[in-house]
Every structure is written in C-alpha cells, then in structure tokens.
Chains A and B, each alone.
Chain A
C-alpha cells in the first residue's frame, strides 16, 4: 500500500516545518529538539488516491521516534466540486460521476476534491519543559 510512502512523505514535511519553525524562533539551534508537533492537519480529497483511514494507520509507523509521534492526525473535509465548461455551474459530484449537476454534461473540471495537502501543523515545546496539566 502506497499510504506508507505518503505517510513517510508527510513525516519528512512536518520535520522540515519543525526545523524551520525552531530556527526562526530560537537563535540556539541545538534547542530545536524542544519543539514537537501536537496536531497535523491534512486535506485529502476523495480523488487524491489516498485513503485517509489507511494513511491514519500507516502514520504511527512512519512517525515512530520522531518529533510527531504523539501528534494527532486530523483530516479536513474535502468534497468533490466540478465546474461545467458548458453551462458554467459549480456543483457537487460523486467520485465516479464527475458530470455537471445542472445540465448533465461531462465536460467539467474538478475544482476541489483531488487535494493532497499538508494544511497546518500545531507545535508545542516538549512536555519535559512544559508542566503537564
């Protein structure tokens, strides 16, 4: 399953975000380990070819031992929308019926629903430095 490959790509990207953030907020680079991700928000459209449930189960394998191993993975809703090239309408569509909901023409373009995006990451300093509530 390619979801493991996608999970590994996700971990790499979040690592880069943590590094970049730590560098811009901390002059002392050696303290970058103090930052970790607590929430990772991704947007995966049904047409992206990645199954959120499979990505969610592959994520802990890819994230083991990293600065996001305790992070929650959150999926943003991404409904399929198509824009009709014939009548101009923008309508919702099903994965295998990307036709115009207004006039029924199949000459449409997918406006959303095929995203595969890392939207945002929430970072916190590691629990050892922040008292647990």
Chain B
C-alpha cells in the first residue's frame, strides 16, 4: 500500500490530515516526527550500548555549570570500580577531553564548530573512534547550552542536568524543555551557597516538580567533595539497573521521550 496518498489515515489521526486542497494539488498525510532520522540513529546507538551492556548518560547544563569538574571527581572515585569512557562535545578545543584523559580515562572530543548541540550521528561517529570493550559507563558531556541539546536524542539511557547555584534557582521554570527531560537534576557548586544568598535549593526543586518531573535532586560540590556520595550511590544503582535490563533483553529511554512515543504514536499502515 502507498503511504503518501492519505490511505494511512486512521480514525485517530484523520482530523489532522483533512483539509481542502487547491485544485491541481495533492495533499499527502505524513505524520512523522520531524527528527525521525536522528531518532532512528539514536535507537541504533542505544542498541550498540545495550549489546555491550553499557549505561549511557547525557550530561547537560549551561556553559560552565561544572560538567567536566563533576566528571573529573566522579572518575577519580569510580574508575577502579567501573570501566568508564567519555565523549566530550564542545564548540571548540580539545580541553575537556584532555582533562578527562589526565584522569586516566578514555575520552573522545567532538568539536562541533558551529553546532550548538550534539546529535545522534555525531555520537555514532565518535563511537567508531573509541574502544568500547568492557566499558560499563559512557558519559556524553553535551555542549554547554540549556536549549538545543534537549531536542536531540543521542541514544542515551538517562539525562542528567546540572544547575549551578550561581545561575539562579528559577532556571527550571525558564528552560522547561531541558529540565523536563532530566532523569536527575544536580545542584552544583553548593560550596558557594554561603556567599550566594539568593539561591534557594528548595525553590529550584519546586520549579522542577512544576514540570511534573519526579527526578531526584542532588546537591553537591565537586570542588569541595560535598554531597558526592548520594550521586555515586545513584550512579551505582543505575549501573546495576542497566545490567539487569540487559540481562532481560530490555532497554530504557529517557523518561519523557518514551511518554511522547506512547501518546503520539506516528505509526502509519
């Protein structure tokens, strides 16, 4: 059957496609995700991860919220417990990958040039430059940006979004698309809370709940090693959960993306 003629219409999507058409023209109903190509590539990346039992995490925040500092501290603690690898996304420079390599951990730098976000194709290319044998945890540090990275699935299992206390506690309300997608929100640089009297961690958490997001909120300082144990415990839990899923042949997508799938099925006949 041809799916460009409107014969893929179902009672559920009919109202979307019905529209008078100018004489001589043909209306073609499509109902496909605009980023379908990226999503297909992301699904393929996720298969790569699941086949190898890797847990993939997409780390997102504004520029300078402390993503690389968090990774440096985390890798120092966990690198003997788990085999880790990192993909760094930046507009320019190899600096962040070098900071990770200095910890003795494999890192691949993606220099995006002008692109303000990573996409699934860039991540797939990076995977081909890496040795994934035995890797348990792959962290993808996205380009520092609270807007664009939220729209592109990379094939990760979890989104972790950082909010540093110097940025203001209303960021989840101002960037709802990004924070709605978080599977965990980390309030970073809490060592600075003492000198910043206008950041209220409880308010930041309340803004996150207003986005209907039940994600855990962890308060920490990578620099002063405050609150890091809860973060490590969460990571260990997620690594165990991924091993359990892989054993059952299951996978996981960041929470809101699977919701989206469920409610706006774009399947055509």
Report A's interface with B, CB cutoff 8 A: 1-2, 5-6, 9-10, 12-13, 17, 20-21, 24, 38-39, 41-44, 47-50, 76, 82, 95-99, 106-112, 114-125, 130
Contact A120 B214 (CB under 8 A): no
Asked if A2 meets B148 with Cβ closer than 8 Å, knowing A107-B212, A121-B28, the reply is yes
Q: Could you say which residues of chain B place their CB within 8 Å of the CB of A49?
A: 147-148, 150-151, 177-178
Asked if A6 meets B212 with Cβ closer than 8 Å, knowing A47-B176, A114-B256, A117-B33, the reply is no
Residue B264 at the A interface, CB < 8 A? yes
For the complex, what is the distance from the CA of A38 to the CA of B263, rounded to whole Å? 30
Across the interface, A119 reaches (CB within 8 A) one of B31, B35, B150, B172, namely: B31
Contact A122 B27 (CB under 8 A): yes
Contact A98 B22 (CB under 8 A): no
Question: Across chains A and B, which 4 residue pairs bring their CB atoms closest together, nearest first?
Answer: A2-B148, A49-B177, A49-B151, A98-B212
For the complex, what is the distance from the CA of A121 to the CA of B259, rounded to whole Å? 26
Besides A96-B211, A98-B211, A120-B27, 18 new A-B residue pairs in contact (Cβ under 8 A), listed by A number: A2-B147, A2-B152, A5-B117, A17-B30, A20-B2, A49-B178, A76-B16, A96-B176, A110-B263, A114-B256, A120-B17, A120-B28, A121-B27, A122-B21, A122-B22, A123-B27, A124-B22, A130-B24
Q: Could you say which residues of chain A place their CB within 8 Å of the CB of B119?
A: 5
B interface majority secondary structure? mixed
Report B's interface with A, CB cutoff 8 A: 2-5, 16-17, 19, 21-22, 24-38, 115-117, 119, 147-148, 150-152, 172-174, 176-178, 180, 207, 209-212, 214, 256, 259-260, 263-264, 266
